[in-house]
Amino acid sequence: PLVSVIVPMFNAEAFVGNAIASIQQETATPLEIIVVDDGSTDISLKRVQQIQDDRIRVIHLPTHAGIATALNMGLDLAQGEIIMRCDADDVYPARRITRQADWLLKHPDFDAVCGNYSTIDAAGQLVVAFNCGDKPEDITQELRNGITRTHFCTFAIRARVLQRLDGFRQYFCTSEDIDFQLRLGDLYRIWYLPEILYHYRIHATSITHTQGDSERQFFELKA
């Protein structure tokens, strides 16, 4: 595969089918979908196992290890030249994968490309489309200045870069994505496209809504 999409999953039975379907709609680019079940206690794993698609690979962790560990397990098994992430409760827009893969193939001097995103509710209805920037541009320097403008799941990154950065730091139970963006910007070049490349779902059982305020603030400061 040219692209590996890693899907970390923990108790996402209500949404994971939609997440995977949004990735499956991509047929123009050779890809694999690596679902890492992080010790789910609901029927998320069963739902994924029922999906008939040779591009899907499933890893099951018997106990909950945390999102950074799940992502790193996916990275260890990824065979694609380009890595993307889709959380099990979120959705990719159509042609996002091909758009970013083509861009990276045409711009070998850049190591990652990202974009804009929106939020959706539990039913999949649009909540807000963010404006993370209205023009295409190099955002490497702003990352080096400690500024993150968009969601990490909008990123497409060359696999060799992820390997050199040694993946995600496992002491983060959240904000591992912010930490990684900043480390990525320290060493590599990143381009921004002013397009909606990800739909982030807001719902009552997401990590954002179930994590305590003090814990969230701690990890944001660590990033």
Tell me phi and psi for residue 68, to 5 degrees.
-65, -45
- Give the tens place of pLDDT for each residue, 142-155: 999 999 999 999 99
∠ CA(22), CA(23), CA(26), 5° rounding? 105
Evaluate the CA torsion angle 33, 39, 43, 49 in order and state its sign.
Answer: positive
For residue 211, is pLDDT > 70?
no
Strands (E), 121-189: 126-129, 137-138, 156-158
pLDDT-based confidence at residue 169 (cuts at 50, 70, 90):
confident
pLDDT of residue 109: 97
CA distances from 72 to 39, 45, 110, 144, 219 (A): 15, 19, 23, 24, 18
| Residues in Cβ contact with 54 at an 8 Å cutoff, skipping those fewer than 6 apart | none
